[in-house]
Copies of this chain bind each other. A is one copy, B any other.
């Protein structure tokens, strides 16, 4: 069942109207652009979707729009991320009603959490929809808890999770997950990396796919990168990875004295999509800080020099 969630699965950004409702037309254009770029799946309501800034209603609109526009061309997995189990339960119901084919949950956050409590959290989410593949999302920079290989394999062996999206940023840890699943004979357990700058390395470690935020801007680049990896053309892959990484200039144009990494990063992605004609507006949910004209000009130049469109 989970065999379909492999390859390049970008976390889809959320464009906004002026009143911060979801701009569904821009969102549909993005979905088409991603699928046209060759991606293997879509991840709705990830961190890149400004999921943390979306009301429950906006989350529902985003995921149902993505599922509707994907129209079965590629599978859609949906984040059900919230502080604790009872709140996640509501998102699970919404995501399934919207037609998502897989779920992605983090460890609890805001609250201080014990390993046993993390396991119970995923066990309960799994019980909410036992037939739907559930991915654990390792993102310690946001959640301040690390899902390590031992914990993941324990939950996989118990049947609670079908895979992991690892945004921990440490390739040695990603590799440890791959090695541990193989040692445990859990070959069907999927390891997806969230790293945008070491996709080649992650594939060399044996991951099953990648969830690249930057893939919103250059989906075809990541698709080509994954293809080179699966064909064993590692040095070409490394060279392409370095080229793609240069596109990250769009995510660092925002002045760190004025705004945080999310404003600069997601704002840069959105600005690039405006520059490329995909989004009508690059506005970000409050309290994000807006990029100024000078920063937007830098982003436009980076996109042009990179050669997109």
CB distance from A151 to the nearest CB of B (A): 14
A262 CA to B110 CA in the complex, in Å? 11
Q: Are B53 and A85 in contact (CB under 8 A)?
A: yes
Closest to A256 in B: B114
Of B56, B109, B232, B286, which is within 8 A of A234 by CB?
Answer: B232
CB distance from A140 to the nearest CB of B (A): 11
Q: How many copies does the complex hold?
A: 4
Q: Are B52 and A84 in contact (CB under 8 A)?
A: yes
A87 located at the interface, meaning its Cβ lies under 8 Å from any Cβ of chain B in the complex = yes
Main secondary structure of the interface of A (DSSP, over half): helix
A195 located at the interface, meaning its Cβ lies under 8 Å from any Cβ of chain B in the complex = yes
A309 located at the interface, meaning its Cβ lies under 8 Å from any Cβ of chain B in the complex = no
Interface residues of A (CB under 8 A from B): 20, 47, 52-56, 58, 81, 83-87, 89-90, 108-114, 116-118, 120-121, 124, 141-144, 169-172, 175-176, 179, 195, 197-198, 200-201, 204-206, 232, 234-235, 238, 242, 245, 256, 258-263, 285-289
Extra 5 A-B pairs, beta carbons < 8 Å, given A108-B287, A205-B238: A111-B260, A116-B260, A116-B289, A172-B198, A204-B235
Q: What are 15 A-B interface contacts by the 8 Å CB criterion?
A: A84-B287, A112-B141, A112-B260, A112-B262, A114-B258, A114-B263, A116-B260, A117-B287, A121-B287, A124-B287, A144-B144, A172-B197, A201-B201, A205-B238, A234-B235
